[in-house]
Structure 1
Amino acid sequence: MALDILAMAPLYQAPAINRIGPKTDPSKRPADPLKPLVLSRTKLTTIEAKRIMSILDEAIYKVELVTLLSYVASNREDMEGMLGEDVMRAVREHEDLCQVLLENVRCLKEKERQLQEQKEAEEEGWLRDRLLSIELQKSSLSPLMQQIKDSTKNVLRLLLSNPQAARLLQMQTQGRSAEAQNFIDSLIELRGFLFEKLLTSPMEARDKAQFLQDISRQNSNNQQIIDTLEKELAERMKNRNAEVEKENFVIQELKNHLHQVLKFSENSLVRTKQEAEKQQKADFRASQARVAKIQQEILQLQSQFYNLVMENREAEQALRKKKYKVETEIENWIQKYDTEMGEKQEELEDLDAVHREEKISLEELRRRHKVLVGEFAQIREEREINSKKRMEAEQEMVRMVRAATLIQALWKGYLVRSLLRSKKKRGKGKAKDKEKGKQKGKEKGKGKK
């Protein structure tokens, strides 16, 4: 039925034939021990194989679209803007036909149920008429189913003519039912099996069959070994059970022996108790004799104790008198000590008062001494300052005297030199005057002549 629905010419762009690959996880490929089962090729080489895979991919694609038609019908408002008016009109017609078919099927089932319930109570002619009407109604379902097929083909043509709408519809995977998804997964799994079958060459198929035969042969050998081991295990289990039975027999004998030992121990315990009772009675009689003897010794010791107590009381009285006498003497000595210490205390207080007065006077003298020491230090500082000043004045006076002496000496030297210079000048003037007088006299003499 699915092939009848999907039997139509491809109206969409199929994937490239050369790029067709297995839709299986590469990580799930067999390991090295299963190398004969690994395919040597990963791409199809023949045109026929490529066409087969293309047809199967096209069928899967169409099934994915068809399984979403019920989702489109239930969400018309959301999908109308995505798919277009033509597609939505075709989907509504398809949905109406499906509803009519479901209603007819429901009515047919209801009639069959009623027929089964009334089959025994009704007449045979009436049952025949009902069966005939049911058969006629069943025959009327075939044209309706053909209309649904045609409607499905029409919707697919419209979707495949609009690739964008088909892609948008294909993305709505959450609207697909679980049964439809399982059917699509089965188709994808079938595609993987078919792809693997088409990739397998005759040589690989023969190697694979040979490998499977080897595996089955090895499995049979392993099964024989397992059977042999199971037989050995059964024999060993049988031997083990026999050994266990022997050990159980030995254990039973040991239990019987233990029971006898317990009986013997009980008898010996009874005898031991009887002997212990006899020994206890003998010990009791011996203990009574010892108790009487000990009581006599106690009476003797009590009389000795009484005598010792009386003697100790007399000694205690003597010691008490001696103690009283010593205490009296000690008390007298204490009173005498208190009297002497009182006198010493009064004397000490007087001395303490005198000491305090002297201490006060000493403090006063120390205070005055500090004042005098300060004044003396001040006076000594003043004297030192005055002595320094006198020494400085004397030194200054000595310097001044020396300076005055030096100045006077220099001044006297200057005066002497000045006098000497003035005398020299005067002598030269007189000589000049004499020469001038001589010249004048000569001139006068010449004039007279």
Structure 2
Amino acid sequence: MNTLLPLPPIGTPVATRHAAAGARSASTIHGSEMSNISVVGSAIDESLTGKLINVEAQRIMSVLQEAQKKVAVIGLLPDEVDRRVATMFNSDTVALIGEHKLLETKYKTLVEGRAPESEIKETAKLVRTSTRAVCRHFLQNPAFMGKLRYLKSTKQANHVQFENLLQEVKVLVYERLKTSVEEEKAKQDQLSVIIAKEQKTSNEVRLLKEELDKAKRERTTEVSKRNEIIRRLKEELRDIKQQAEDTTKRLESRSKQKEDQELQIAKDKELAMKDEIKRSTEELRDTVKKNREEEAILRKKKFKVESEVENWIHKYDQDMDEKQAELEDITAIYNEEKAQLDELQARYGELQKEYEKIMEERRIAQEERIAQEKKLRHMHECATKIQALYRGWKFRKEMAKKKSGKATAQKGKKKGK
């Protein structure tokens, strides 16, 4: 046996998928608009079921349409049973509506008061039974539906949202049922690819998060180390400052002592300098007097020297005039002798050419003479060699004759014996 789940409390807003549906549900819908919506909804239902070929798909769409009609009936129920309701409906209908409203109020109270779960489940079961009875009663009497639309001019926002959501579900189911097996398989394959990409992306995100956590830990460790280094450096800086202050105090003390000593030395030097200035002033006065006397003597010497220099200059001018005249005479003689020298150089050039020509002829004659002597010497040597060869040949010939004569004589002697 299936476990019955508790229904959501009446008046609780239902989430929608689109902002347009939510915006429309936030406003109130009047009776004329609701009638138009019902007409349009019926036309859409016919268009949705008319294109389906499969019987099972048509049955599913019929179930959704029936559920949509029941939701519309529940949304049109009046908020309370008053005189208008009692006037427009009979006693059975009024009692049915009143009982349903009481059960809704009880269920809402139990849920808000956090009553025991068993009591909430029992009340939810009664609410579902009452809802089925109310829907069956009004759907079997179409005239009552018109009265409901006339009686309740507005719907609650949660009912409008739920109706929009149910309409959206019906459209989605229709699209799913209308899709063929091949298209569904293609969509499933595409969805598998998307899921695989999503898993890959999730793994990458996880790895990046791990790397980020690792980097954060390393960063924290590094910051801790740096903070420790900064703390240690601050302590060292504080120690250095303290040492610097102590050193500064010692230096100031030493500087003050040295300053006092130098001030005393400066005072002593000042007194000594004053004495020196006094003595130097007296020496300066004596020196000025002495220099003035020397200046007078030097002025006399200067006048004497200037007179002598002037005499020497006058004498120099006379000597220079004489030397200039002598230089002009020498220049004239030089020009004349230079002209003669140019003429002699021209003649020397001609003689030099003739000399070179004669020397060239002598050189050629000398070379010819040497060549003839060399040729004659060569001929003499050749004649000497020829004579020597001839003499040698002649000597060998005579010797050969002598040998042949001796041999003939010896043969004759042998024959005589």
TM-score interval for Structure 1 and Structure 2 normalised by the shorter chain: 0.3 to 0.5
TM-score (norm 2): 0.38
